[in-house]
Structure 1
Amino acid sequence: MGLLMMAGFASGALNAVAGGGAFITFPALLFAGVPPVSANASSTVALFPGQAASSWAYRRDIGAASEVNLPQFAALSLIGGLVGALLLLVTPNALFADFVPWLLLFATSVFAIGHYAPGMVARLRLGGRGVLVVQFLISIYGGYFGGGIGFLMLAALTLFGLRDIHAMNGLRILLAMLMNGAAVAAFAISGAVSWPETLAMAVAAVAGGYAGALGAKRIDPKRLKTGVVAIGVALTVYFFTKGA
């Protein structure tokens, strides 16, 4: 349990600063012997309290993002997260295990492009309706798996015209919390959560999420993002070779 709590704290802090916390919690649960679908559901539940703590720490920055219609974004995140969670629950463990390396590859690639080649994203533009459609699709993916959603949301907000990185970071965490909140409800009702491991990680994730949010303006996110990409590459190679 100690290692799972360490993973929860690190994931909560990482989500608050740079995103990518699922790269730690999901494989940690797999290595602890939790089946793939349950590990993914448990990872989402474990990270949810930490995201709530980080969102509270960013509340003033979120309130300053006047360009965004927050109720619309919130509603789409909740609905999309629920749709993604329901899709996960009807996916058999064996099939999801086959998806794991491909999902990690996609999430790592998205995260790496955002870190190393942001110019590829900056050439695009999104209008009001476009950014809402993109947010809904991101929310479905977030409810189903979630790796890399932080960058996907930051990219969408950038294309919409936001430039205040602290407001964007706060919105990223809040919307991820909402889509995961819908997923958490579905996972809890369905019985897909492995509660002993999840509760241990969740307690640590709260501390990590709040500490990470408070320290986010002092830590160089580039180094953390490089670390996230390295972890993602290593895990992708591992699961392609060994399987989930």
Structure 2
Amino acid sequence: MIFSCVVLALAGFAAGAQNAVAGGGSFLTFPALLFVGLDPRAANITSTIALFPGQATTGWTGRRMAGGAAGLSLRTLFVVSVIGGAIGAVLLLATPVSIFTHLVPWLILFATLVFVWGSFFRKQRQEENEPAPLPPRVAVGLQFLIAVYGGYFGGGIGILMMAALTAVGLSVRHAGATKNVLAGVVNVAAVAIFLARSPQNWTLVLVLGIAAIIGGQVGVLILRYVPETVLRVVVSLIGAVLTVGMFLKA
């Protein structure tokens, strides 16, 4: 048990720092939880609960820069995110462990591809004045689908939101702040349902969660010394290795 806690503390610390710098912390906590013996669905639920406090803190800190998009208010996006996150969480709990185990490699592959695309190939819009190409209804639909995915699995949700929010006209800076708020909203719905309907190993949750909060604070300092590109490459490689490993295990 002590060894498991050490592994989770290290993974949580690194995930918190990674989320603060570039996102993708679940790529670290998910395999760590699998390593200490949890099945894929339990690992996904535990990771979501443990990382939530850090996400909520980040969203709260940058809330003044968050806003609506494509004619939609932040409140509208807030409501859509809560509903979608709740639906995703219910779908996860309704999915048998055996089925979710077979889905995991595909979910991780999808999340990894999204992360790589968002990290290295997504067109930057902060210096552009392009009109938003997506109408409000499409924006609502995208956010709803992203929220459902976030409540169900969550890997790569930040990049998905960044892509959608910049596509509807937000600058990268404001899209990032809005993404942090909405990611917290999606997960608060999922966490509430997980806590009500799924038993937890609170030792694992607390070790992972506390380490992630500390790591998040250190992440700000890391920004001064480690290039963000290096961190994105590391996360992308972790996702690729985890994808291959899960396909071989499935």
- The change in CA–CA distance for 1:220 and 1:57 in structure 2 (over 3 A counts) is farther
Pairs aligned (count): 242
Residue 221 (1) aligns with residue 228 (2) = yes
Residue 238 (1) aligns with residue 219 (2) = no
State whether residues 142 and 179 of structure 1, in contact with CA within 8 Å, keep that contact through their aligned partners in structure 2. Answer: yes
State whether residues 30 and 47 of structure 2, in contact with CA within 8 Å, keep that contact through their aligned partners in structure 1. Answer: yes
Pick the aligned partner of 2:90 from 47, 64, 86.
86
Is there any run of 5+ residues in structure 1 with no aligned partner, and where? none
What's the C-alpha RMSD, in Å, of the aligned pairs?
2.6
- In the alignment, the residues of structure 2 paired with residue 194 and residue 130 of structure 1 have an alpha-carbon distance, to the nearest angstrom, of 39
- The change in CA–CA distance for 1:132 and 1:221 in structure 2 (over 3 A counts) is farther
Deviation at 1:218, TM superposition (A): 7.5
- In the alignment, the residues of structure 2 paired with residue 65 and residue 207 of structure 1 have an alpha-carbon distance, to the nearest angstrom, of 32
Which deviates further from its counterpart, 15-24 or 215-224? Answer: 215-224
**Residue type of the partner of 1:127?**
P
- In the alignment, the residues of structure 2 paired with residue 57 and residue 218 of structure 1 have an alpha-carbon distance, to the nearest angstrom, of 22
Which deviates further from its counterpart, 97-106 or 220-229? Answer: 220-229
Q: What SS does the corresponding residue of 2:66 show, helix, strand or coil? A: helix
Deviation at 1:68, TM superposition (A): 5.7
Match of 2:52 in 1: 48
- The change in CA–CA distance for 1:67 and 1:17 in structure 2 (over 3 A counts) is farther
Match of 1:176 in 2: 183
Pick the aligned partner of 1:153 from 150, 161, 164.
161
State whether residues 70 and 169 of structure 2, in contact with CA within 8 Å, keep that contact through their aligned partners in structure 1. Answer: no
Residue 37 (1) aligns with residue 41 (2) = yes
- In the alignment, the residues of structure 1 paired with residue 20 and residue 72 of structure 2 have an alpha-carbon distance, to the nearest angstrom, of 20
State whether residues 53 and 210 of structure 1, in contact with CA within 8 Å, keep that contact through their aligned partners in structure 2. Answer: no
After superposition, residues 188-199 of structure 1 pair within 5 angstroms as 188-199=195-206
Is there any run of 5+ residues in structure 2 with no aligned partner, and where? none
Match of 2:208 in 1: 201
- In the alignment, the residues of structure 1 paired with residue 138 and residue 68 of structure 2 have an alpha-carbon distance, to the nearest angstrom, of 22
Deviation at 1:94, TM superposition (A): 1.0
Cα deviations by residue, 1:92-142 (Å, 9 ceiling, x for unpaired): 1111111111111111111112223224999x9322221111011000000
Match of 1:75 in 2: 79
- In the alignment, the residues of structure 2 paired with residue 230 and residue 11 of structure 1 have an alpha-carbon distance, to the nearest angstrom, of 15
Q: What SS does the corresponding residue of 2:134 show, helix, strand or coil? A: coil
Sequence identity, in percent? 47
State whether residues 20 and 228 of structure 1, in contact with CA within 8 Å, keep that contact through their aligned partners in structure 2. Answer: yes
Residue 62 (1) aligns with residue 70 (2) = no
